[in-house]
Structure 1
Amino acid sequence: MPSEKPAKAPAKAPTLLGPGGDLYYKLYSVSMLNVYDAMILGLSIDPAARGFHASQTRDSKAPQRVALLDLNPTALRKTKRRVEVQGASRGLAPVLTVRADAIVPVPVNAPALTAKFDSVSAFLLLHCIPAPTPVKAAGLVANARRLLNPDGVFVGCTVLGRITRTTSTPADIIDWLPRRKHGKTVVDFGPAREAQMAFREGLLGRFLISAYGLVGIFANAEDGPDEIVDALEREFEVVDTWIIGRMMLFRGRKPKAD
């Protein structure tokens, strides 16, 4: 009798990572994800950054379509379940998933990505990717721009290794915090306030960043704001950025045409 053919191994997603550069996403096993929220979202993130959002309006009557993209299939499965549970009462369409490297040109022929999106988010991602800052910033931002509608918004944050700006400047206001001024939700910001907030970076934050870097979870020692702003400005007409401690929050609006 002919022997059975061995099952084919699942195809690997194209990636720019070299040998040993995959710890940042393989680390997130089921057990690690169970403590991720408390360890990262609860302990590591500045509370001032938690209210950041895309400031994008949408038709609340239309079903909301959500797609998740990640290299880690375990993270995709767990996040898909969580989002669908939370969205069950809000008319959320089934969540689609794509296994891919966020800094490699996305597979736009994938069923989840054939239609454009109103917003794309990339929170707490760039600082983990072990690639040169200009390379990973350019790849991520270009992917986001290609996936957005003409009036779409790209929003996210990353932990910087270097916080000093040379060529870029912060946005004049913070428009995503729940404070009101002259009838609008705005907070004066600008270079002076950004520098003041960065100066207040605590010892705990410095310790955590150093520890994550030593074990290979973070790869952001050379990540500075200017390279990220350059990538955003190549792909978007309007770019807003803020630095709070070592956290850089960014938003790109009005995607440029191909």
Structure 2
Amino acid sequence: MTDSSAAGAAVYSPLTLALYDAWVLGISNRYAWRCPTGSTLLPFFRANVRPRHLDIGVGTGYYPAKAQLSSQTQVTLLDLNPSSLEAARRRINRPTTRTIQHDVMQPLPGEPRFDSISLFYLLHCLPGPLDAKAKIFANLKHNLQPGGVLFGATILGDEAGHNAFGRKLMAVYNKKGIFGNRQDTQVGFEGHLREHFRDVTIKREGCVLLFRAAQPII
């Protein structure tokens, strides 16, 4: 376990998880980050999830649970925090759901392959610099099936033009080590994604960067 991964994961206690949807997916996304969950993030997840899916940094399991997945979709959940994994597994409520307790900064043991991999609100929880965070892309590109897609969303740093609410949350979260994103930039993320994937699409919504990457460069 790396210190950087542990700091971001430690905040997700059972109590925090009970409040997560209302605070993060409801209030914070709409008013601080200006990227509504229901109209932006959930449709983005639905558009990119594939039959064999790996969800990393699972939170409460909101996205797989709400995405109206087909009965044929095989979901695997990966997180460092066992409380998050158990909460997400229960919420998704699919008997075939698998869980992996693992540090995302390390390669996956056994190199399993997936049709899609999602990283929603994980990267901004890891301390920078971006060169260190990009190790995730270098590792995960080996876990995609041919034709597979890596996609996700992350809150950008100071240059994103946060409103007063967002600036306050950024200051508190970064001071506590919950976030590590003060220097995270759209240009930086795009550059690292293009280093590892031939097909990269990015979109900005408020202070959140949505990204999709395919055709890994091996």
Do Structure 1 and Structure 2 share a fold, with TM-score over 0.5?
yes
CA contact (8 A) 1:127 1:159 kept: yes
8 Å CA contact 2:74–2:96 kept in 1: the answer is yes
1:17–1:130 CA contact under 8 A, matched in 2: no
Partner of 2:114: 117
1:248 is matched with which residue?
Answer: 209
Structure 2: segments with no counterpart, 5+ residues: 30-34, 52-68
Relative to its length, the structure with more helix (as a share) is 2
- 1:126 corresponds in structure 2 to 123
Query: Could you say which structure has the larger radius of gyration?
Result: 1
Letter in 2 for 1:227: G
Instruction: State the one-letter code of the partner of 2:164.
Output: L
Instruction: Write 1 or 2 for the structure with the bigger share of strand.
Output: 2
Change (3 A) 1:56 1:34: closer
Tell me, yes or no, if structure 1 residue 35 matches structure 2 residue 33: no
Which residues of structure 1 form unaligned runs of 5+? Answer: 1-14, 164-197
The residue correspondences of 1:18-167 to structure 2 (distance < 5 A) are: 22-45=6-29, 46-47=35-36, 49-50=40-41, 51-53=43-45, 55-56=47-48, 63-84=72-93, 88=94, 94-107=96-109, 109=110, 114=112, 116-136=113-133, 138-163=134-159
The count of aligned residue pairs is 193
Q: Normalised by the size of structure 1, how large is the TM-score?
A: 0.67
Asked whether the equivalents of residues 130 and 188 of structure 2 are also in contact (C-alpha less than 8 Å), the reply is: yes
1: CA distance between counterparts of 2:101 and 2:128? 19
SS in 1 for 2:44: coil
Are the equivalent residues in 1 in contact too, given 2:114–2:145 (CA < 8 A)?
yes
Q: Aligned letter for 1:49? A: T
Question: Residues 252 and 54 (structure 1 numbering): CA distance in 2 closer, same or farther, change over 3 Å?
Answer: farther
Corresponding residue for residue 64 of structure 2: none
Are 1:24 and 1:218, in contact at CA under 8 Å, matched by a contact in 2? Answer: yes
Identity %, equivalent residues: 35
Output the TM-score relative to the length of structure 2: 0.78
Shift of 1:128: 0.6
CA RMSD in angstroms comes to: 2.4
